[in-house]
Structure formats: structure tokens, C-alpha cells
Chains A and B, each alone.
Chain A
Amino acid sequence: MTLIDWLTVPFTFEFMQRALLASVLAGAVCAVLSCWVTLIGWSLMGDAISHAVLPGVVLSYLLGLPFAVGALVFGVGSVALIGTVNRTSRVKEDAAIGIVFTAMFALGVVIISRISSDTDLRHILFGNPLGVSDVEILQIVVMTVVTLAVVAFTHRDLTLYAFDPAHAHVIGLRPRRLEALLLGLLAVTVVIALQVLGIIMVVAMLIIPGATAYLLTDRFERMMLIAVATSVAASVVGVYASFLLDVAPGGMIVLVQALLFAAAYLLAPRYGLLARRAGARRAAVLDTAEAAQGTASAERVQG
């Protein structure tokens, strides 16, 4: 077997092509959302939405509907419920999130325990990109295209909301609407990635790419590109490695993402651990230099 064969053979199988397509699309669209999720501090919210869709997925299965329908209903419903509990009681937001998503997840577990045991709970919980059907691929493609189209039109407003919702309000935009839009997009991306990673790990795709990119740049547009690049790379490498090593593809994808994060955490040129350590050693020297420069530029401003 030549090297080329070794690289291409896995993808001569149709199930591998579908797995790759689903993983790459989910990775890309989740990476885009992950930038706002990590900057706003919505990681727990992403985790909550992904768990809360379980009863929706199970009910879709029972009613013979596309899984995305039930998942979306329960995803969006849970976000609304979290917001209501938070606004209308003295319970803090993280507690409201914790209550709603565990309750929804529990509802799903109870329903599953009541129906026939041949429903494969493992696939819902841990994902199975190798088992994605043509219909499911179609759902994933449609949801990805719609999400990316909405993002293309609204990304500047969403970033403004993430950075300074008060300013958005003051210049006549509606931050509450932008928040609702972003949460809606979050629910859709959870559903897109569900098939690939499963309920438990889906949140990885909504956090790790954004967090990795955040360590590598100070510009939002670049952060988005880096997040998408690392996430897509993780999907390709993860699916491929899962074939060669005969291990779970969802787990492999998340592991590769985590490795990329670890690399950025240690080696990022400015915000990596090693650079910061080195920076701290030089700090005394730099401080003196910067103080002198600061005075100079302040004087120029005055002049």
C-alpha cells in the first residue's frame, strides 16, 4: 500500500465521506459561534442547550420526525425557559441554567427508559458521524447554510452586542433581539453538531475553537478564521484517525481540538504560557522603556 493509498482509501467508503462532510460542516459552523460564546461567557449556556435537546431528539424518533425538529423545539424552548426563570425570580442565571438543562435531560432519560431498549442511547449521547444518513446530511447542510447566511449579515452587530450591549442600545439597536438571535443560532449549531459529537461532547465544538483562537490573536475577524481553521482541521484529522485506529470519531475530534488548544495555551506567541513567562522576566526592562515612551507620546498629543 502506497502512502497515497493509505491517505485516500478511507475516503473511498461512502460512510467515511458522509462522516467527513458532517464533521467538517459542524466544526466550521460551531467554530464561528464559539467566538461569541467564549467572549460573552456563554460556555455553560452552550452545554445547557445541548443537554436540553435530549427529550426533543427522543420524541422526534418516536414520532418519526427529523431529529432536528424536536431538538430545535427543545433547544429554543429551554433558552426561553432559562431566561424566564432568571428574570422572574431571584435565582441567579447560572443556577437557572443548571436547573432547566438537567431537568430537560432527565426528562429525556426517563422517556428513553420507558420506550424499547433497541434505541441506541449511546449514539444520542456520544454521537456517531459514521452512521449519518443521507437525510441527516441534507438537514446538516441546510442548517449550516442558513446559519452562515444569517451570520454573514449580522456578524458585526453580534460582535457589538458581545463587546458593548449598552452602546448597541444607545445607538438605537435592540440588544435583547441580538441576544435572542445569537441564542437561536447557538441552538441550531448544537443540533447540527449533535449527530457528530453527541449530546455530551457537542459543547466542545462551541468552546474549544474560540478559546484556542482567542489565545492567538487580538482581532475578531482573525479569531473567527483561526477558530474555523483549527476546528475543521480537528474534524478531518479526528475522522481520519478514528478510521486508522478504530476508535470513536467524536471522541477523536474533541481530543484533536483539545491538543490544538493545549499547543496554543503553551506556545501562543503573545498569550501562551511560555511567552508570558519569558515576558515576565523581561517586564522590569520593558516597564522602564514603556514609561519613557508613554511620556513621549503624551507630550506629542499635547503638542
Chain B
Amino acid sequence: MTTPPALEVREVTVRYGDVLALDNVTVEIGRGVVCGLLGANGSGKSTLLKTIAELVTPQSGHVRIHGLPPAQARKNGLLGYVPQSEQVDWAFPVRVIDVVMMGRYGHMGLTRRPRKSDRDAVAEALERTGLTDLAHRQIGALSGGQRKRAFIARGIAQGATVFLLDEPFAGVDKPSERTIVRVLREMRDEGATLLVSTHDLAGVGELCDEAILLHRRVLAHGSPDRVLVPELMLRAFGLEEPA
């Protein structure tokens, strides 16, 4: 019996009204892989991530996470999701440590009262993302990069094995970007699978083991040096110069 891939997307089509967002997308990603998800604005990157998390329901096709239907995988705490910054209410009265603790809710009893194991997991996740000193700050008091790190810490505390990150490098300063790259690679080395949507084509080679080029359909999927070629870039980004 072969082990199923960490992430399997099969013949997925998503429409928003008349707009075709994803057209028959099929992707398989193995365990312990960082996969970059590249494409122009409106190419369906966020939609693909949301479809995998079942935040968006596809018209056809299906998703498997470690061979499990997504609902089962979510219940088992396998899936972590780092949303785009625009989707978060940064003025909400929660501290960094509270946000990271939310990663533990699936492990807790019904009232979500944290136990020592939960507090330890949160402390470790904060440490790894370099946020220990900022743990008691309100979430909106952080810089853009620190905010991203807080949501990544939440996924680490959760112990997810498949991570979906929507533009984790958008609005992030260089030091935070280096920290994020280091943390993501550590997670990969521990066996996690990460699907990372990004505009930052320059950083793809450094971070990613493979890359997917999306333009509603999958234009290419392979090692970064085979995907990031001028001919494919032109098809994915049109006349836009790669950044």
C-alpha cells in the first residue's frame, strides 16, 4: 500500500457566479515539501487555498489531505491556514498569545480551558517565531511581519501537518521575511507540507522545493528553476514583468 500524498487536488473547478476562478485544477504535493503557488492577481491562488480548506465549495472535483476528506482532516487538526492580512480585524482585543492559543482549541475540552501542554506548545511556537517578548501585545500593535509570524505560530502550536499560507510575504520587512523563511523551512524539515502563495518571485528559489504556476489552470508544476522560465512567466503574468 502506498502512502497517499499530503495534499491532493483533483479536477477542481470553482465558479463565482459567471466568473471561472479555477478550471479543472489537479495537483499533488508530497510530504515534507514547501510548494510555492505563483500567479498574477486574479489567477485563483487564494481561491485554490480556500477550496482546499473548504472555505469555498467547488462546483466539481475533490480534495484529499493525507488521503482524508477535508472535513475529517480538519477535525484531526491536520490543516493550518494563514489568511491574507486584509481578512483580519487587527483592532480586535486579543493579544498575540491569545491568537496563538487559538491554534490549540482543537486539542482542548469543550470549554477550551488551556492545560499545561497547551501553554507549553504556545510558548514553544512563540519562541520559534521570535515573538516571546511580544506575546502580551495586542495583535494590531505588531508590525506586518510580526503579525504574519503570529499566525504562523498559531499553526505551529496547532501541530498542523499541511499548511496553507496566503501571501505571507506581503507587507513584510526583510528581517521578518528571513525569520519566516527560516521557520517555514524548519517546519518542512519536520515533515510538514506547505503551500505558499506569493507575489515575490525572487524569493521562490530560496524557499521552495517546488512551484505551481497558476492562471485559473495549472500552467506548470515542478522545481522552481523549471517553472520560473521566461516563456511560462509571460503566459502567467501577461506583459507584466516579474517582480
Which of A's residues lie within 8 Å of B, judged by CB? 39, 152-154, 156-157, 159-160, 162-164, 166-173, 214, 217-220, 222-223, 294, 297-302
Q: Is B77 an interface residue (CB 8 A)?
A: yes
- Given the interface pairs A218-B93, A301-B179, the reply to whether A172 lies near B106 with Cβ below 8 Å is yes
B93–A171 CB distance below 8 A: no
Min CB gap B54→A, angstroms: 7
A167–B154 CB distance below 8 A: yes
Q: Give which listed residue, B74, B92, B138, B176, contacts A169 with CB less than 8 A.
A: B74
B53–A169 CB distance below 8 A: yes
Report whether over half of chain A's contact residues are helix, strand or loop; otherwise say mixed. helix
- Given the interface pairs A166-B81, A223-B93, the reply to whether A173 lies near B175 with Cβ below 8 Å is no
Min CB gap A160→B, angstroms: 5
B110–A153 CB distance below 8 A: yes
The listed residue with most A CB atoms (<10 A of its CB), out of B88, B133, B175, is: B175
B133–A297 CB distance below 8 A: yes
Q: Is B124 an interface residue (CB 8 A)?
A: no
CB closest chain-A residue, reference B130: A301
Q: Give which listed residue, A156, A159, A166, contacts B55 with CB less than 8 A.
A: A166
Report whether over half of chain B's contact residues are helix, strand or loop; otherwise say mixed. mixed
Q: Is B32 an interface residue (CB 8 A)?
A: no
Q: Give which listed residue, B77, B83, B89, B133, contacts A171 with CB less than 8 A.
A: B77
A294–B143 CB distance below 8 A: yes
B89–A219 CB distance below 8 A: no
Q: Is B116 an interface residue (CB 8 A)?
A: no
In the complex, besides A156-B112, A297-B133, A301-B130, 9 extra interface pairs with C-beta distance below 8 angstroms are A156-B113, A167-B83, A170-B55, A171-B77, A173-B106, A218-B95, A219-B93, A220-B94, A301-B175
CB closest chain-B residue, reference A35: B93
B93–A220 CB distance below 8 A: yes
Min CB gap B3→A, angstroms: 22
Q: Give which listed residue, B87, B88, B92, B141, contacts A162 with CB less than 8 A.
A: B92
CA separation between A168 and B94, bound complex, in Å?
15
A157–B112 CB distance below 8 A: yes
The listed residue with most B CB atoms (<10 A of its CB), out of A163, A173, A297, is: A163
